[in-house]
Structure 1
Amino acid sequence: MAGERRRRRANGEGTIYQRASDGLWVGMAYVHTTTGVTKRRPVYGHSFDEVREKLDRLKGDSARGIAVPDRALTVAGYLHHWLTQVAESKRATTHRGYESAVRLHIVPVLGTKRLDKLTGADVRRLIAVCRSKCLCCLNGYDKHREAADQCCSAGRCCSRTPSKRQIQFIHAVLRNALSSAEREELVTRNVAKLVQIPAPRYKVGKGLSVAQVKTLLVEAKKTRLYALYVVAATLGLRRGELLGLRWTDLDLDLDRATLTVEQTVQRVGGRLVVDEAKTEASEATIPLPKITRRVLLMHQERQAKERIDAGDVWHDHGLVFPTSVGTPIEPRSLNRHFDGIRTRAGLPGVRLHDFRHTVVTLLLELGTPPHVVRAIARHADLDVTLSIYAHTNLDAMREALDKIDWEAE
């Protein structure tokens, strides 16, 4: 054993010693762990040189920013790391959804569980708990109710359980987090993949008839946001895209006339956030129809007068559809504005998003090639475009079925 002795290691190089009990060599060094805390971690070997090599490799990884797995890491601890280090790069609205699923659903059930001990049975227990919990009780919705005897506040749980879509989302968040943990070699496999969640059935909006669109636009023309509804009805922009549209995104020259979608306005975590478009496919340049270009030019003149009237109160953000003082419009405020229009038009069941489905349906009925319609609607998949048309084109189906005539002469 005397031949195994080596020089005293300097500060920061770690400690190497031989255990008297079994003769095993042990190395100790301070390294960065996945919990964000610097801890003293051991390595073991049958010789000084073996331990020194392991120790140098451990310290080298730490110096390069590769965090060492913390064996005491809990699900809650790792999810905090994942939200702050990995999922932070997602869109603000996406990250907010992840954070809510982690905080409200996953951590209360699995938070204290050791990450490397997580099993498929634990994931199934999480899903079972989520399916049975009342969202009103969980989120304290009753605190905001005017009457104290409504819903759960009356002592009778309303059992407003999460929808199939919410359950699927909670499972997807955990699955994505564990996939990241698997890549970081913190777990040997992603146990969330062992649990299958039935996919929910999505309802596709029906879109509007030409007569309905015209009725809505007649009412919208009486408001300062008439141009916004014309853009929605002719190009099918999403709500956030309409509110995030800037004058620099428009080319109103007669020979070019284009609109580029680059950003959206969303409310996330109690504040308005200007974010990038929903998907990469959503960022696109679209030709402007002549009617849309004309209305936007008139809207530009009207906004110039509003800016003058507002004076020092005007806060210019370069937006096409701001408030009367230039600031971004609250997404829910736009919903309320549209609610007034649809009520006056006698179409209480219509949604703002139905304009988007209407554009898809009308273009396909006019014989526009599906791939062109997909490009205009900026759908990520052609199947989405065709599913909207298949759901809405009842007249075409009726015409086809009416050709069947088995009546005896």
Structure 2
Amino acid sequence: MAEFLKRKRAIEPTTRRSYESHVRLYLTPYLGNIRLDQLRVSDIAGMFDAIEEFNDTVATERASGDPARVLAVRYRRPVGPTSMHRIRATLRHALNMAIRQDRLLDFNPASVVELPAIDRPKPVVWTEEKVMQWRKDHAAHLNLLHRAGESRRADPIAAYISAPRPSSVMVWTAEQTKTFQAHARKDRLFVLYRLIATRGLRRGESVGLRKVDVNYATCRIGIHWQITQLGWDPIQDVPKTDASDREIAVDAETLTLLKEHDKCQRRERQAAGEDWAESGFVFTDEIGRPLHPQHVTDRFCGICYQAGLPPIRLHDLRHGAATAMLAAGVDIKIVQETLGHTTSAFTRDTYTSVYPEAAAAAAEATAAFLTGSPVPAPRPVPPGRRTPRPGQDAKDAAAGDTGGTVTLLPTS
């Protein structure tokens, strides 16, 4: 495995780090004492069995309710199906190299090892019922920390984030997004968060947005650069795929806010004087330096906590934008291109969850179509919009009276 890493020269730093961690944490400890020509399928399967046993141990200890046992596995992370497939892919790639370049093997045992299927988590909406249950779980989580003697030292935001939630991918409703925007408006990075919430930018894309890529005349921004993390170190680079390198439309309100943000940045530059470091990015710190991606996440979590909202990850704000676009009836191809996905099939498979109100309206429309109901079926609408009143007369419907609407993602 050391020779494999040595030969892999032309790879991305993040890919190299992934290979190195797989070798260090799993492949060397579990398989390092086996001669290459004696490596069997059962050896590799045994490694993954051991990883599964580790996962079971962590889950059992965390569910025990014993503060000491919970504390003992506090920093131990289970290895999920996706990570297992990546570990196997690293081993398979290394063994293929040994077969092709050195002819040390006649058969790649890693290629036939069976692993659990990867179930991509689907976005789940924070409905009122789920929020109520989460508040109970959060209270129980705080009580557990108190019993473990951690309550005085625990960061309240860390406890807020780590409380159990229905899914690893959660999406706010339109009202919850509105509440977040109201609380974030006074933050100097408000426009950055708004771009993620409405246009679905990735964190690295929003942090890496450059001034030269903002076109005020055409109301479009170019996503041609990004700032990601390698461990803790920020890395500046172009997007990895052609689909991610794109231009997207921006609404007029956001464009106005970008202009106001630029004026504020000019005032900061004047205040900083010679200390100003011109980086060319739209979003910077108070003296012009590029933002660290983790700093953006930390500020986001703080705003969510102060607003009293159920927790989501910053990346879930992007998921919320995608779900909102689909619930609003935006064509799947436009959603795909806006998000920077390679195919629309991936977009459709990932964002199958819809807002409850939109699902209910779709059910009514389907029933009306199949039963031949004379009452006009309501269109699928996202939360925040009202459907026509039951029994609304045909005259009002013909006149276009839908009971009034408000935008899905408010501008203020």
- Aligned-pair distance for 1:302? 0.9
> Could you say which residue in structure 1 is the equivalent of 2:326?
364
Indicate how the Cα distance of structure 1 residues 364 and 153 shifts in structure 2: closer, same or farther if over 3 A, else same.
closer
Deviates more, 1:283-292 or 1:302-311: 283-292
Bigger fraction of residues in strand: 1
Distance 1:183 1:400 in 2: 55
Percent sequence identity is: 31
Query: Relative contact order, CA 8 A, sep 6+: which one is greater?
Result: 2
C-alpha contact (below 8 Å) 1:261/1:284 kept by paired residues: yes
- Aligned-pair distance for 1:116? 3.5
2:273 alignment partner AA: G
Q: Deviations over 1:234-292 (max 9, x none)?
A: 2110111111222122222x2x2322222322221342222332433211122232222
Unaligned runs of 5+ in 2: 59-66, 125-170, 369-412
Deviates more, 1:158-167 or 1:173-182: 158-167
Distance 1:159 1:236 in 2: 32
Indicate how the Cα distance of structure 1 residues 157 and 229 shifts in structure 2: closer, same or farther if over 3 A, else same.
closer
> Could you say which residue in structure 2 is the equivalent of 1:275?
237
Distance 2:310 2:327 in 1: 26
Deviating 4+ runs (over 6 angstroms):
134-137, 156-159
SS in 1 for 2:352: helix
> Could you say which residue in structure 1 is the equivalent of 2:205?
241
2:116 alignment partner AA: P
Cα RMSD for the two superposed structures:
2.9
Deviates more, 1:240-249 or 1:110-119: 110-119
SS in 2 for 1:343: helix
1:90 alignment partner AA: I
Distance 1:234 1:195 in 2: 42
Alignment of 1:7-406 (within 5 A): 79-86=1-8, 88-133=9-54, 161-186=78-103, 187-206=105-124, 207-252=171-216, 254=217, 256-401=218-363
- Aligned-pair distance for 1:92? 2.5
Distance 1:396 1:380 in 2: 27
Deviates more, 1:157-166 or 1:107-116: 157-166
Unaligned runs of 5+ in 1: 1-78, 138-148
1:265 alignment partner AA: I
Indicate how the Cα distance of structure 1 residues 269 and 212 shifts in structure 2: closer, same or farther if over 3 A, else same.
closer
Distance 1:135 1:319 in 2: 45
- Aligned-pair distance for 1:135? 11
C-alpha contact (below 8 Å) 2:224/2:246 kept by paired residues: yes
Indicate how the Cα distance of structure 1 residues 90 and 276 shifts in structure 2: closer, same or farther if over 3 A, else same.
farther
Q: TM-score, normalised by structure 2?
A: 0.68
1:312 alignment partner AA: E
C-alpha contact (below 8 Å) 1:135/1:160 kept by paired residues: no
- Aligned-pair distance for 1:321? 1.3
Q: Larger Cα Rg: Structure 1 or Structure 2?
A: 1
- Aligned-pair distance for 1:153? 7.9
C-alpha contact (below 8 Å) 2:200/2:319 kept by paired residues: yes
Q: TM-score, normalised by structure 1?
A: 0.68
Distance 1:377 1:260 in 2: 12
> Could you say which residue in structure 1 is the equivalent of 2:164?
none
Distance 1:291 1:103 in 2: 49
SS in 2 for 1:214: helix
- Aligned-pair distance for 1:200? 2.9
